[in-house]
């Protein structure tokens, strides 16, 4: 038996599991804490985790390793250029791990990996033109154009959370204003809910106010209340869906994709979120995408990055590059 | 000698000229009126013009014809799906002309053709990741991704004028609201100038008011006044540049291209328009595109579509497909 190891490299934990060439997971992943204090300790921790994973999954015959992480990745050189949650600036992670472990290693941006994962083994199976939008603490994106991950000139393509949807709008952590991320992320959902506090029709049981006072009015908490039909939470989800719809129209008009996959924690709301945004696209995007583009929730959840990174490693093995 | 004929098929005129495989024009084009009353008369007129061009340019040995037109084009089938200025809905133009003339014919969207033209023989020579934004009566776009025109799933990709830059903004002809086209087109420039009428600091000689009263306060007229430093016109160009900057930030973050080429009539303003928009990108886009993306005016002007269409025909000849 042969396999590759897919790795989701996060700021707090690293998950590693064996994946076959169809994107199927062969075993439950090994999950270990990530050390993100500085570059050196991070790399040492990653190496130790990968070493343990190679042993633990030895029976699956791992031939290569694919790493997925947030940030700008130069896939050709295997370098993490910058990352929002890892202490990596221009670090040749792939080469470092390959030298230490003697196994071919590739590295890919997590949203790029996720869109490949969804296209091979998730919501967008057999589609070649797929855009992934991930709604979490931030809003990210991945582009599968004509069957291939599109990286742009410097590995920075697909930052769809930083399309401007409101000129002069809210200040974004990226330094710009009015980015989609400020309106369609988990924190935005919490903000829409907070604005409904004090309105008896929206917050009849003071549930939102209560969460707010305790400092736990998060997007996740609002999503939970929305699932139970709590009015202010349902309203907040609608507000988010309206902004998501605007972002999806821009994506449809820009890419004319076969499918837009909506992932990330906020996408756990499923059709409660997606249906309204999809209606907006059907009414506001341009033909032919308006009528043809499919809009669906991601299927692979948190595993999309790991599976996608493994598929990138499989591709590299096939090309004899890894 | 061999060549191909590039054809710019517009709603009011058709321009045809011989082009070599480097994108160089070999002779001044034949320009004839376009008949756009109905599909049948349009096709008959196009055929007659192409027939005359094949005779007139016979000494250049035309081996194929490349047509560029506005609208959604299914390049694989050679079909114009819809067009804003031609009476064509699902019409197999390439096959019809090929049957009539006995010459291989390809057809391409005009902005897609233009980006290829600029990359081979214009402002973006030797770049493989180029986005073209055309600012005219409408705002259009063309995508050259990894050296190839990107069409999307149904030929509709690159409608960059219909990225939403202001949720709930001005109603657009496309049916949506707040599209970039409403803020960065020729008519938008005229609107920004009109809003300055009556302010003695902005319209000291009543030049804007005068144009407005005569019904000729167009984007072109405003651009002309701006070139002479007329304050209200200069202010209007600045307002347009600010919106253009917002659109360019979204493009930079989405595609991380090597270059964004700004074309169309409004781009005749050159650096007066581009410099301010470029500054906005340097301050607001994400790294690495923020620091690396080049932003330049188109070089081929009105000829970009014709030259690009000819290059598509050359590519098709090379592949033995045409």
Q: Which of B151, B152, B253 sits opposite A163 (nearest CB)?
A: B253
pLDDT reported for residue B320: 66
Predicted local confidence at residue B11, as pLDDT: 85
CB contact A288 to B (< 8 Å): yes
Give me Rg for the CA atoms of chain B: 20
Region class of A112: left (phi > 0), else alpha (psi between -120 and 50), else beta: alpha
- CA of A58 vs chain B CAs: smallest distance (Å): 38
Is 80 exceeded by the pLDDT of residue A50?
yes
Q: Contact A271/A78 with Cβ under 8 angstroms?
A: no
* CB contacts, 8 Å: A141 with chain B: 254
Q: Is residue B121 part of a domain?
A: no
Q: What is the pLDDT of residue A283?
A: 97
CB atoms A286 and B160 under 8 Å? no
3-class SS of residue A290: helix
A1: pLDDT confidence band, cut at 50, 70 and 90? confident
Task: Give the percent of chain B with pLDDT over 70.
Answer: 99
Q: Which residue of A has its CA nearest to B142?
A: A254
What integer pLDDT is reported at residue B35 of this predicted model?
Answer: 86
Q: Residue A291 region, left (φ>0) first, then alpha (ψ -120 to 50), else beta? A: alpha
User: Is A82 part of a structural domain of the chain?
Assistant: yes
DSSP H or E stretch at residue A73 = strand A72-74
Same domain, B232 and B284: yes
Q: Do B163 and A254 touch (CB under 8 A)?
A: yes
CB-CB neighbors (< 8 A) of B164 in chain A? 165, 246-247, 249-250
User: Does residue A12 belong to the interface with chain B, where contact is any CB pair within 8 Å?
Assistant: no
pLDDT at A267: 87
**What are the tens digits of pLDDT across the range B296-310?**
999 999 899 999 999
Contact flag B166-A163 (C-beta cutoff 8 Å): no
Q: Is A122 among the domain residues? A: no
Q: How many CB pairs under 8 A join A and B?
A: 154
Q: What is the pLDDT of residue A255?
A: 98
- pLDDT by residue (tens digit) across A134-177? 999 999 999 999 999 999 999 999 999 999 999 999 999 999 99
Model confidence band, residue B75 (pLDDT cutoffs 50, 70, 90): very high
- Residues B81, B130, single domain; the answer is no
> Higher pLDDT residue, B194 or A83?
B194
B282 vs A: CB within 8 A: no
For residues B148 and B206, membership in a common domain is answered with yes
Q: Which chain B residues have a beta carbon less than 8 Å from that of A162?
A: 249-250, 253, 285-286
**What is the reported pLDDT for A318?**
87
Determine the pLDDT at residue A218: 96
Do B282 and B315 reside in the same domain of the chain? no
Residues of B in contact with A128 (CB under 8 A): 153
Please say if the pLDDT value at position A12 is more than 60. yes
Residues of chain A in contact with residue B151, where contact means CB-CB under 8 angstroms, are 256
Cβ contacts of B210 within 8 Å, gap of 6 or more: none
Contacts of A261 (CB under 8 A, 6+ apart): A115, A118, A122, A123, A124, A130, A131, A132, A133, A296, A297, A298
Only one residue has tokens 């109905």, namely B38
pTM of the model: 0.95
Residue A105, strand partner residues: A65
Determine the residue of chain B that is closest to A281 in CA distance.
B176
Chain A residues with CB under 8 Å of B155 CB are: 256, 288
- Burial class, B40, CB count within 10 angstroms (exposed 0-12 / middle 13-18 / buried 19+): exposed
Chain B: residue nearest A140 by CA?
A: B254
The pLDDT value given to residue A210: 97
Residues A56 and A41 in one domain: yes
Reported as a single tens digit per residue, the pLDDT across A249-303 is: 999 999 999 999 999 989 889 999 999 999 999 999 999 999 999 999 999 998 9
Q: Is B318 on the interface with A (CB under 8 A)?
A: no
Look at residue B14 and tell me if it is in a domain.
yes
Q: Given CB atoms, is B284 within the 8 Å cutoff of chain A?
A: yes
pLDDT in tens, B165-181: 999 999 999 999 999 99
- Residue of B152, B176, B183 lying closest to A284 (CB–CB): B176
Q: Check CB contact of B38 with chain A, cutoff 8 Å.
A: no
Before B239, cis peptide (omega within 30)? no
Q: What is the DSSP string of B34-70?
A: ---SSHHHHHHHHHHHHHHHHHHTGGG-EEEEEEEES
Band of the pLDDT at A320, cuts 50, 70, 90?
low
Number of structural domains (chain B) is: 2
- Claim to verify: residue B23 and residue B161 sit in the same structural domain: no
Asked if the structure places residue A121 within a domain, the reply is: no
pLDDT band at residue B36, thresholds of 50, 70 and 90? confident
**Are A186 and A235 contained in the same domain?**
yes
Instruction: Provide the b/e sequence for B249-269 (b: ≥16 CB within 10 Å).
Output: bbbbbbbbbbbbbbbbbbbbb
**Cα–Cα distance, A15 to A34 (Å, whole number):** 9
A242 with A151, same domain? yes
Residue A225 structure tokens: 């209340």
What is the distance between the alpha carbons of residues B317 and B312, in angstroms, rounded to a whole number?
A: 9
- Work out the pLDDT band at B319, boundaries 50, 70, 90: confident
Task: Identify the band that residue B318 occupies on the pLDDT scale cut at 50, 70 and 90.
Answer: confident
- Shared domain check, A171 and A280: yes
Model confidence at B183: pLDDT above 80: yes
Contact criterion met (CB < 8 Å) for A153 and B292? yes
Judge whether A239 is closer than 8 Å to chain B, CB to CB: no
Chain centroid offset of residue A113 CA? 9
* Interval B39-64 mean pLDDT: 97
pLDDT confidence of residue B1? 87
Band (A76; pLDDT cuts 50, 70, 90): very high
B197 and B220 together in one domain: yes
Cβ A152–B166 below 8 Å, yes or no? no
Q: What are phi and psi of A149, to 5 degrees?
A: -60, 130
DSSP A22: T
Looking at the partner chain, which of A81, A150, A159 has a beta carbon nearest the beta carbon of B253? Answer: A159
Residue A156 and residue A245 share a domain:
yes
Domain of residue B221, residue span: 126-298
Reply yes or no on whether the pLDDT at A319 is more than 80: no
- N residues, chain B: 322
In a domain, B273, yes or no: yes
- At residue B189's C-alpha, the angle toward residues B292 and B279, to 5°, is 20
The pLDDT of B103-125, averaged and rounded, is 96
Contact A292 B249 (CB under 8 A): no
A245 vs B: CB within 8 A: no
Please indicate if any CB of chain B lies within 8 Å of the CB of A243.
yes
Residue of B153, B177, B242 lying closest to A257 (CB–CB)? B153
The C-alpha atoms of residue A62 and residue A98 are separated, in whole angstroms, by 13
Residues in A closer than 8 angstroms to B250, CB to CB, are 162-164, 250
Q: What is the pLDDT of residues B221-275, one digit of tens each?
A: 999 999 999 999 999 999 999 999 999 999 999 999 999 999 998 988 999 999 9
Residue of A nearest to B83 (CA): A287
Residue B41 in contact with partner chain A when CB distance is under 8 A: no
The answer to whether residue B100 neighbours chain A at the CB level (below 8 Å) is no
Closest Cβ–Cβ partner in B82, B156, B257 for A152: B257
Task: Please tell me whether residues B100 and B133 are part of one structural domain.
Answer: no
Q: What is the CATH number of the domain that holds B254?
A: 3.30.420.40
Residue A318 to residues A4, A7, A104, A315, B233: CA-CA distances in angstroms?
Answer: 12, 19, 12, 5, 59
Using a CB–CB cutoff of 8 Å, tell me whether A118 touches chain B: no
Tell me whether residues A289 and B249 touch, CB distance under 8 A. no
């Amino acid at each position: 038996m042969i396999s590759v190891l897919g790795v989701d490299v996060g700021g707090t934990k690293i998950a590693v599991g064996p994946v076959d060439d169809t994107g199927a997971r062969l075993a439950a992943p090994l999950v270990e804490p990530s050390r993100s204090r500085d570059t050196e300790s991070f790399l040492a921790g990653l190496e130790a985790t990968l070493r343990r994973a190679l042993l633990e999954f030895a029976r699956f015959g791992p031939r290569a390793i694919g790493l997925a992480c947030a940030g700008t990745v130069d896939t050709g050189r295997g370098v993490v250029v910058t990352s929002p949650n890892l202490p990596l600036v221009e670090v040749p992670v792939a080469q470092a791990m390959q030298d230490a472990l003697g196994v071919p290693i590739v590295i890919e941006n997590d949203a790029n990996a996720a869109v490949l994962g969804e296209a091979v083994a998730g919501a967008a199976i057999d589609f070649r033109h797929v855009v992934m939008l991930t709604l979490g603490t931030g809003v990210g994106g991945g582009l599968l154009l004509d069957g291939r991950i599109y990286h742009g000139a410097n590995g920075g393509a697909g930052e769809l959370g930083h399309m401007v949807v409101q000129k002069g709008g809210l200040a974004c952590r990226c330094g710009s204003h009015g980015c989609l991320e400020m309106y369609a992320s988990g924190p935005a959902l919490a903000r829409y809910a907070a604005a409904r506090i004090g309105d008896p029709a929206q917050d009849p049981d003071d549930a939102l106010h209560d969460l707010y006072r305790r400092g736990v009015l998060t997007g996740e908490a609002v999503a939970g209340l929305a699932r139970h039909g709590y009015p202010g939470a349902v309203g907040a989800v609608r507000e988010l869906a309206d902004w998501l719809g605007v972002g999806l129209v821009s994506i449809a008009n820009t890419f004319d994709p076969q499918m837009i996959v909506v992932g990330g924690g906020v996408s756990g709301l499923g059709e409660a979120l997606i249906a309204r945004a999809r209606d907006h696209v059907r009414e506001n995007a341009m033909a032919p995408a308006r009528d043809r583009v499919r809009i669906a929730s991601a299927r692979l959840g948190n595993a999309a990055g790991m599976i996608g990174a493994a598929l990138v490693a499989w591709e590299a093995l096939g090309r004899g590059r890894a």
